Amino acid sequence: MSDSITENADYRAFCEERLQDPYPLFARLRADDPVHWCAPMKLWLVTRYDLCLTALKDERFSSDRTDMYVQALPPDLKARVQPLLDHVAKWIQLTDEPDHTRLRKLVNLAFTPKMIRQLMPRIQGLVDALLDEVRPGEPCDLISQFCQPLPATVICEMLGIPLAERDRFRELVEGIMHFSTAGGPKLKHHAEHAQECLREVIVLFERLVSERRREPRDDLLSALVTAEADGEKLSNDELYAMCVFVFLAGHETTTNGIASGVMALLTHPAQFAKLKADVGAHVRGTVEEALRFESPVTRAVRKAREEIVLEGKTIAPGQLVVFLLGAADRDPAVFPEPDVFDITRSPNKHLAFGFGAHFCLGAVLARMEMEIAFRAIVRRLPQLQLATTDLAWKPTMGIRALTRLPVRVTA
Ligand code: HEM
């Protein structure tokens, strides 16, 4: 890059302050240095669509980066939080073949498109009930009142988490997530609390799993408990890891997909008008464009298994490579006028759900929740407006998340 911003600035200046609008930086990186060594973070940043697409199918990149956690912890702490480290190592997103292939086969038996489609009436009911509470003239943060509770309730019901325990469960899983998303030196501050959270989560799941073993129900947890392929089932530890990870992966991501989509519509009135004029024709395009325009998961992280030369840069074995999906999804070589929000964009082969072996397991569910949410907003709140222009994105690296979405509803 021509100036020294990314070479010399510290982690805070490089990452957090740019998160409000990372796209100009993404554009410069993509044009000038698409495989960029980021010295402050000691990792590679890949921003071009074609490079992300090819590399995410390249088996020389590993998804197993659990040693990153291990190396960042002092030995005594590491020994104390070994159960937490063992748990995180079983998250499907952090496994490679053959474990990944086995886990994916088992979870696919439980997570079928048919099973997801059966959820449609329930999701519609939830959407309607939540929007009943959004009343004309009253202040409303659409995230806390709608975008957040919808996917959280869906995933809790799929996992059979009783209503009374949902808030606690969410707190506990967030405690684990703070550890898993913390980088470098911050990791040790979250490790012990995360382990405590995990202990409580497992007590809850032990109870739920033994209930399902005695009496299977029509939910994802029962399907995961009974899933069997090639004579193999998930072990208890794998089952708990799958439940925690599916909850983590399916919850905030969808919240942000819905929230960013609504915000894009409200800040692009001509696109909102187009959607309202023919929702049947444009709702799917709106979902895809919302996912491309503000890709909720901004990165996929891999580790080089061996020396890899990418676009003339030599990536050493063990180095981390961050594929910036949010940058790839604004690549002008693939998406003409990429900074324009256009619900009729076609083709729109964004990478918001990743690519390759780890392609999002919940893509069908997420798309369905977003579609039902957008349809309901058009039908029930066609006069929806932003109540402020003072919107902010959370200062987190991996997720593109608005802090709140205050809206004004008129009768
Ligand atoms: C708009 C919403 C969502 C977005 C943008 C999203 C995005 C992603 C991305 C980019 C990946 C690949 C990460 C990588 O390659 O390292 C992924 C993986 C995954 N997602 Fe999603 N996701 C969403 C919703 C969901 C939902 C609703 C669920 C489940 C209920 C879910 C479950 C998973 C799982 C289990 C994986 C790991 C798959 C594997 O490693 O084989 N996601 N997601």
DSSP 113-163: HHHHHHTHHHHHHHHHHHHHT--TTS-EEHIIIIITHHHHHHHHHHTT--G
3-state secondary structure of 45: strand
3-state secondary structure of 64: coil
pLDDT at 120 over 50: yes
Query: What does each C-alpha distance from 316 to 63, 150, 306, 357 come to in angstroms?
Result: 16, 43, 7, 23
Query: What pLDDT, on the 0 to 100 scale, is given for residue 398?
Result: 84
User: Mean pLDDT throughout 63-78?
Assistant: 89
**Number of domains, the chain:** 1
Nearest CA to ligand 1 atom 3: 253
Query: What pLDDT, on the 0 to 100 scale, is given for residue 40?
Result: 78
- Full residue range of the structural domain in which residue 15 is found: 5-408
- Contact residues of ligand 1, CB 6 A cut-off: 92-93, 104, 155, 245-246, 249-250, 253-254, 257, 296-297, 300, 325, 352-354, 358, 360-362, 365-366
Query: What pLDDT, on the 0 to 100 scale, is given for residue 14?
Result: 52
CA 183 to chain centre: 17
Query: What pLDDT, on the 0 to 100 scale, is given for residue 99?
Result: 95
**Among 52, 253, 323, 329, which is best to mutate for testing ligand 1, by the most ligand atoms less than 8 A from CB?**
253
Q: How far is the CA of 366 from the centre of ligand 1 (A)?
A: 9
User: Mean pLDDT throughout 1-21?
Assistant: 53
Q: How far is the CA of 368 from the centre of ligand 1 (A)?
A: 14
Six token digits for residue 389: 């222009």
User: Mean pLDDT throughout 76-87?
Assistant: 94
Percent of the residues in the chain that have a pLDDT greater than 90, as a whole number: 80
More confident site: 71 or 245: 245
Nearest CA to ligand 1 atom 12: 354
More confident site: 16 or 194: 194
Quote the mean pLDDT of the chain: 92
CATH value at residue 130: 1.10.630.10
3-state secondary structure of 401: coil
Query: What pLDDT, on the 0 to 100 scale, is given for residue 95?
Result: 97
User: Mean pLDDT throughout 139-147?
Assistant: 96
Q: How far is the CA of 249 from the centre of ligand 1 (A)?
A: 5
Per-residue pLDDT band for 16 (boundaries 50, 70, 90) equals: low
Distance (Å, rounded) from C-alpha 4 to C-alpha 257?
33
Query: What pLDDT, on the 0 to 100 scale, is given for residue 9?
Result: 44
CA 137 to chain centre: 33
Q: How far is the CA of 296 from the centre of ligand 1 (A)?
A: 10
Nearest CA to ligand 1 atom 2: 254
Residue range 317-357, pLDDT digits in tens: 999 999 999 999 999 999 999 999 999 999 999 999 999 99
Residue range 180-229, pLDDT digits in tens: 887 667 788 899 999 999 999 999 999 999 999 999 998 999 999 999 88
Query: What pLDDT, on the 0 to 100 scale, is given for residue 330?
Result: 98
Residue range 149-186, pLDDT digits in tens: 999 999 999 999 999 999 999 999 999 988 888 766 77
pLDDT at 362 over 70: yes
pTM: 0.95
- The enclosing H or E element of 262 equals helix 236-267
User: Mean pLDDT throughout 130-140?
Assistant: 94
**Among 53, 361, 364, 367, which is best to mutate for testing ligand 1, by the most ligand atoms less than 8 A from CB?**
361
* For the CA of 366, the nearest atom of ligand 1: 27
Q: How far is the CA of 363 from the centre of ligand 1 (A)?
A: 7
Out of 37-41, 131-135, 243-247, least confident range: 37-41
Nearest CA to ligand 1 atom 16: 300
